[in-house]
Amino acid sequence: MVAHFPLDDNVVRVHRRLCRLMTDDALRATRADAAWLLERADAEAGEWPAAATQASRVLNASYVRAVDDELRWRSTNGLRRQPETFGHSRQFLDELLQQVDLVAEVELLTNLRPRGRALVGVCPFHDDHDPSLTVWPGELRWRCWAGCGFGDVIDWVLLVQRGAFSFRQAVEYLSARYGVPLEKPVPNRRGPRHAHKARVA
């Protein structure tokens, strides 16, 4: 789907540079957005000026290529970029995510109904009429397809609080609410620079 036309290597390179800074999750989510826009560009080619369609194809196809290159690079080198843990161990955060009821947290703000293996509902963060919010209980993840956000229940709480909670406060709120004892924070040795150490620039 991506290579219907010659890609501009310079655009791919610029996108790839951006991709290096992103977490694995963010790469996959933004790749899905770009792939969707690419499909729209093809499907609606007759409705827009040819130059606009071509620009959309080049930008989005280049982005998809850049994400695929970056994920392949990480896979080959055995690296993952997980979200920043802000002094908590990944083990503690994973335990917390397992114990928290994501669906219950979401349903404090909106009603969900089943669709396949997921649940869908009206997004409480934008003026939503066609349900844009998907929750995957098995994967402990959610996403608003209109762009409000995506992630795990900590990301959800941060969005609900809209800046009133820091990451640490969101973790404390959830640990108190679901009775998961807080660990003593540990120094974060795997900081955001980790993924770049082995890379030859």
| Residues engaged in binding Zn ion (CB under 5 A) | 123, 125-126, 144, 146, 148
Pick the closer one to Zn ion by CB: 38 or 144: 144
Taking the complex as a whole, how short is the minimal distance between the CB of residue 30 and Zn ion, in angstroms? Answer: 16
Pick the closer one to Zn ion by CB: 27 or 123: 123
Taking the complex as a whole, how short is the minimal distance between the CB of residue 198 and Zn ion, in angstroms? Answer: 37
Tell me the pairing of strands 149-151 and 133-136: unpaired
Taking the complex as a whole, how short is the minimal distance between the CB of residue 148 and Zn ion, in angstroms? Answer: 3
Pick the closer one to Zn ion by CB: 72 or 126: 126
Pick the closer one to Zn ion by CB: 123 or 153: 123
Q: How far apart are CA 143 and CA 168, in angstroms?
A: 22
Q: Choose among 115, 88, 111, 113: nearest CA to 174.
A: 88
Taking the complex as a whole, how short is the minimal distance between the CB of residue 150 and Zn ion, in angstroms? Answer: 10
Angle at 147 between CA 160 and CA 94, to 5 degrees: 55
Q: Choose among 102, 106, 84: nearest CA to 160.
A: 106
Taking the complex as a whole, how short is the minimal distance between the CB of residue 113 and Zn ion, in angstroms? Answer: 17
Could you tell me the sign of the dihedral formed by the alpha carbons of 89, 198, 80, 27, in that order? positive
Pick the closer one to Zn ion by CB: 41 or 154: 154
Burial 118-139 (b: 16+ CB within 10 A, else e): bbbbbbebeebeebbbbbebee
Where residue 169 falls (left for φ over 0; alpha for ψ -120 to 50; beta otherwise) is alpha
